[in-house]
A and B are shown apart, each in its own frame.
Chain A
């Protein structure tokens, strides 16, 4: 069943087009990677799908409801409750401990303090970093920070996790461990994942790969600048 859909999504930054009419359907519980060369629009697409950016034209549909026209407050609520977002650099709050960072989305959603902390500890435990519960991000390694950030993205048990180059700042082995845990937990919970990456090795964790080129889905399967017959591109 289609859970998330983009139809003719267009987005530009000033005079620079980033997305030129993207169509994409993501099924419930599916893990989809979005790949393509730098500047192809993959991060912009993720931001539009997650309701962080509003497209200039086209539609973004979540469970059959158009969300692209929603107010910032409504989209923000959707991100707090149904969506989880994970970026390349964990973007943990430097002043808060690991447990406080992970509990934050629950507190914002109205969960009680004690319950939020209990859930945060459970998620830190799943990612093998519960011993860091009272440590601040500045005292952690990159891999530890990204494990905490992943726990924070999943603590609300979102329907969809949007991950933008989640292992881009980590060494190969640490990145792989974080991603393996992320994918395993997502599958267990039937969480849909949209995974943006430029690395074939990372895209291979997904069930399906969508290639973007010049702001549109490349159905040729290459995503590359290979000239077509007749000089077309």
Chain B
């Protein structure tokens, strides 16, 4: 099962503007409510790696009677890495859903609507193509019951992904108004 890339989700959240670790954790948990909540340690460790790799940079500190809180901003390289991840179509497989979910949410969050649209079109096409292949395989005269049952399983999941994708995108206009007022 493909794991969700926390690094890329954080890069996506930073695309909207600089934030410090605590804000990133809250934004992550709000935007991906069904995902496992991020631990603070995981956020800071990930930010440390992203900074080391030049994908984020410190954007100032604030002190509110507590420890220093460093805000981070996306670098040019960070944006390029995020764009590469978003452009990469997920291989349509039965258990792709969580990565698909994270990627669609992040695609909708980033400022570049054309890029998000390109990704969603490509992903939808990949799913529809795979659905067609599986349908052809299961309806072939030589298909065994085992073939049909296995194809059914994959088809049901892909169909569910596609329905969810459609419903989500139907809500997109509202999302964009919310995220980019």
Contacts and interface: CB of A to CB of B under 8 A. Distances in A.
Given A183-B139, A200-B131, A226 B163 contact: no
Contacts of B172: 224-227
Contacts of B64: none
B169 interface: yes
A228 interface: yes
A184 B139 contact: yes
Given A201-B131, A204-B132, A221-B124, A229 B114 contact: yes
A226 B131 contact: no
A37 interface: yes
Contact of A222 (B120, B155, B163): B120
A225 B175 CA distance: 12
Contacts of B120: 222, 226
A168 to B, nearest CB: 15
Given A226-B113, A227-B173, 20 more contacts: A37-B170, A184-B139, A200-B128, A200-B131, A200-B158, A200-B159, A201-B159, A203-B128, A204-B128, A204-B155, A205-B135, A222-B117, A223-B166, A224-B166, A225-B169, A225-B170, A225-B173, A226-B169, A226-B172, A229-B113
B49 interface: no
Contacts of A229: 113-114
B128 A228 contact: no
A221 B173 contact: no
A189 to B, nearest CB: 16
Contacts of A220: 117, 121
B170 A227 contact: no
Contacts of B155: 201, 204
Contacts of A224: 166, 169-170, 172
A228 B113 contact: yes
A100 interface: no
A201 B139 CA distance: 13
12 contacts: A200-B159, A201-B155, A204-B131, A206-B132, A220-B117, A221-B121, A222-B117, A222-B121, A226-B117, A227-B173, A228-B117, A229-B114
B105 interface: no
Interface residues on A, range: 20 to 34
B27 interface: no
B139 A180 contact: yes
Interface in B112-161: 113-114, 116-117, 120-121, 124-125, 127-128, 131-132, 134-135, 139, 155, 158-159
Nearest to B169: A224
A37 B169 CA distance: 12
Interface in A205-233: 205-206, 209, 220-229
A220 B118 CA distance: 9
A199 B155 CA distance: 12
Contacts of A223: 166
Contacts of B134: 204
Contacts of B114: 228-229
A206 B139 CA distance: 12
Nearest to A205: B135
B135 A204 contact: yes
A221 B139 contact: no
A229 B162 CA distance: 24
A134 B21 CA distance: 74
Contacts of A200: 127-128, 131, 158-159, 162-163
Q: What 8 pairs across the A-B complex have the smallest Cβ distances?
A: A204-B131, A224-B169, A204-B135, A200-B162, A201-B159, A204-B132, A221-B121, A180-B139
